[in-house]
């Protein structure tokens, strides 16, 4: 099967972006607020997303995907996040799983999983976090034991996006819990919870709670419980080799961080746009509030930070597209864009006064959605540490 990854030219990219804009205007905008407040999974929009090709956005055309560049992909994520950020989580976590198979899988695994992932027929996410291990990924306890041509898995994952509505997960496990350093005992499996052929539930895996959240509603965040769950080694053991899981998980996070940063730009842009508009119609002391210097100072800072975040995302995405290692660029984009999203959303709330606090306006949703970006795909505390380590590594004295 061909894995042609030629990227779109500017004209074709514009066609894709236009199709996304049309969908956002016609289908997403009318329902986003209600679905979000009801924390309802957007099943109809997911069907549209399949048709738009979003579940295969980064998968090579040879496997049925769109093969988009990270640059185009980031623009899509930003646009959708301006309307409703949760939708991006439904295909981004899925694409991180797909990226692991595409980058590290055997030919058999790519041929088996990628066409199913690209069509959205099988959807899923990334299963790293456990109740006692988030940042300290090497502290995970989920174990997989090789028995004949299968792996038997026991353990619990939590906070997994698409855990309930999805069908499978890229699962980080320990195959050698005694290994030192710990990462050498870590392995990546693709673990379906339904039989991909019959679509019947598989034994040994179930979802625990659906987790209640401040924001990022509509998309399910949940637990996975594995109890003597058996999966086929040839299809599930990514790359056919144990001990590579930590490397695969952290490699997948690069595109994840660009995605989080692109979401941050979307949140910030929307908050800024709403604020620029509102400040021209809301009057106090006989004039629109945009003529008060206190509001102008806010708008100026919001605009400059939003634009800076956009440029950092573009920089990280283009380095990724050139095939470079982008820990530093993606880390800076993720850190700055997510902090900007949180700040700009809060400033937008102040500018809107009581209306910013009202559930009838989008500002309170932007304000609730933004903090996740400071936590997910590596907390912003860790981002700054990663940036510093890369700086030293790239500039030895």
To ligand FAD, the closest distance from the beta carbon of 39 in angstroms equals 12
Residue 203 phi, psi (nearest 5): -75, 155
Span from 32-40, 194-202, 253-261, 370-378 in contact with ligand FAD (CB under 6 A)? 370-378
Nearest approach, Cβ of residue 385 and ligand FAD (Å): 6
Chain residues 98-137 in contact with ligand FAD, contact rule CB under 6 A: 125-129, 134-135
Contact string (CB under 6 A) for ligand FAD, positions 79-98, x = contact? --------------x-----
* Residue partners of 365: CB distance under 8 A and separation at least 6: 33, 36, 215
Go through 226-251 and write b for each residue having 16 or more CB atoms within 10 A of its CB, e for each that does not.
beebbbebebbbbbeebebbbebbbb
Contacts of residues 90-93 at CB distance under 8 Å and 24 or more positions apart, as own/partner, are 90/42, 90/46, 90/49, 90/123, 90/161, 90/162, 90/165, 90/219, 91/49, 91/54, 91/55, 91/57, 92/256, 92/259, 93/124, 93/125, 93/126, 93/161, 93/162
**Which entry of 82, 102, 254, 377 is annotated as an active-site residue?**
377
- In the bound state with ligand FAD, the residue whose beta carbon lies nearer, of 188 and 299, is 188
Nearer to ligand FAD, 166 or 239 (CB): 166
Q: Is 121 a catalytic residue?
A: no
- Supply the minimum distance, in Å, between the C-beta of residue 135 and ligand FAD: 3
Q: Does 382 sit near ligand FAD (CB under 6 A)?
A: yes
DSSP string, 184-251: GGEEEEEEESB-TTT-PBPTTEEEEEEPP-SS--SS-EEEEEEEEEEEEHHHHBGGG-TT-HHHHHHH
* Whole-number Å distance between alpha carbons of 248 and 230: 22
Please tell me whether residue 372 binds ligand FAD under the rule CB under 6 A. Answer: yes
Least distance (Å) between residue 89 CB and ligand FAD: 7
According to DSSP, the residues that pair with 144 across neighbouring strands are 153
Best CA proximity match to 347, nearest among 304, 384, 383, 308: 304
Which tokens sit at 304?
């400059």
- Contacts with ligand FAD by CB under 6 A: the residue count is 20
Q: Which is nearer to ligand FAD, 158 or 279 (CB)?
A: 158
* Of residues 190 and 299, the one with the C-beta less far from ligand FAD: 190
Taking the complex as a whole, the smallest distance from the CB of residue 287 to ligand FAD amounts, in Å, to 41
Neighbours of 189 (CB within 10 A): 26
Helix spans in 39-166 (H): 43-52, 70-84, 86-104, 107-119
The smaller minimum CB distance to ligand FAD, of residues 299 and 374, is found at: 374
- Are 133 and 141 within 8 A, CB to CB? yes
Task: Report residue 169 as tokens.
Answer: 């997960």
Q: Among the candidate windows 10-18, 110-118, 303-311, 372-380, which touches ligand FAD by CB under 6 A? A: 372-380
Per-residue burial over 79-110, b if 16 or more Cβ lie within 10 Å, else e, is bbbbbbbbbbbbbbbbbbbbbbbbebbbeebb
Q: How far is CA 386 from CA 41, 341, 348, in A?
A: 34, 21, 30
Residue 272 or 337: the one with the smaller Cβ distance to ligand FAD is 337
Contact track, ligand FAD, 155-184, x by CB under 6 A: ----xxx-----------------------
376 binds ligand FAD (CB under 6 A): yes
Q: What angle do CA 221, 111, 248 make, to 5 degrees?
A: 50
Closer of 169 and 272 to ligand FAD (Cβ): 169
Asked if residue 221 binds ligand FAD (CB under 6 A), the reply is yes
Q: Minimal distance in Å, beta carbon 262 to ligand FAD? A: 16
Residues 16-75 that bind ligand FAD (CB under 6 A): none
Taking the complex as a whole, the smallest distance from the CB of residue 96 to ligand FAD amounts, in Å, to 8
The minimum distance between CB 274 and ligand FAD, in angstroms, equals 23
Asked if 379 interacts with ligand FAD (CB under 6 A), we say yes
CA R_g for the chain: 21
Among 27, 213, 282, 292, the residue binding ligand FAD under the rule CB under 6 A is: 213
Q: Which is nearer to ligand FAD, 25 or 136 (CB)?
A: 136
Chain residues 282-321 in contact with ligand FAD, contact rule CB under 6 A: none
Catalytic positions: 377
The contact set with ligand FAD (CB under 6 A) reads 93, 125-129, 134-135, 159-161, 213, 216, 221, 372, 375-376, 379, 381-382
């Amino acid at each position: 099967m061909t894995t042609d990854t030629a990227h779109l030219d500017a004209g074709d990219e514009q066609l894709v972006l236009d199709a996304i804009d049309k969908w956002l205007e016609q289908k997403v905008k009318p329902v986003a607020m209600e679905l979000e407040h009801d924390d309802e999974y957007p099943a109809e929009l997911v069907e549209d997303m399949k048709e738009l090709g979003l579940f295969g956005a980064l998968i090579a055309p040879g496997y049925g995907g769109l093969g988009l560049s990270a640059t185009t992909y980031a623009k899509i994520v930003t646009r959708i996040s301006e309307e409703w950020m949760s939708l991006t989580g439904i295909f981004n976590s899925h694409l991180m799983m797909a990226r692991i198979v595409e980058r590290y899988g055997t030919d058999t695994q790519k041929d088996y999983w990628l066409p199913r992932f690209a069509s959205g027929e099988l959807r899923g996410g990334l299963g790293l976090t456990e109740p006692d291990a988030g940042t300290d990924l090497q502290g995970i306890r989920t174990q997989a034991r090789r028995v004949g041509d299968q792996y038997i898995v026991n353990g619990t994952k939590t906070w997994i996006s698409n855990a309930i509505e999805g069908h499978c997960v890229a699962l980080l496990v320990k195959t050698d819990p005694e290994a030192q350093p710990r990462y050498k005992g870590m392995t990546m499996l693709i673990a379906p919870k339904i039989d991909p052929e019959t679509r019947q539930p598989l034994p040994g895996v179930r979802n625990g709670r659906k987790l209640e959240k401040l924001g990022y509603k509509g998309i399910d965040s949940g637990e996975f419980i594995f109890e003597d769950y058996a999966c086929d080694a040839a299809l599930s053991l990514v790359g056919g080799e144990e001990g590579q899981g930590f490397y695969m998980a952290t490699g997948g996070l690069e595109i994840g961080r660009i995605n989080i940063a692109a979401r941050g730009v979307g949140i910030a842009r929307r908050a800024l746009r709403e604020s620029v508009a509102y400040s021209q119609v809301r009057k106090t002391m006989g004039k629109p509030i945009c003529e008060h210097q206190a509001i102008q100072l806010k708008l100026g800072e919001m605009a400059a930070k939003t634009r800076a975040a956009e440029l950092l995302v573009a920089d990280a995405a283009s380095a990724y597209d050139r095939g470079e290692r982008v820990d530093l660029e993606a880390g800076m984009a993720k850190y700055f864009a997510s902090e900007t999203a949180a700040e700009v959303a809060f400033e937008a709330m102040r500018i809107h006064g009581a209306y910013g606090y009202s559930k009838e306006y989008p500002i309170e949703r932007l304000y609730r959605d933004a903090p996740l970006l400071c936590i997910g795909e590596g907390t912003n505390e860790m981002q700054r540490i990663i940036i510093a380590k890369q700086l030293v590594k790239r500039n030895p004295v």
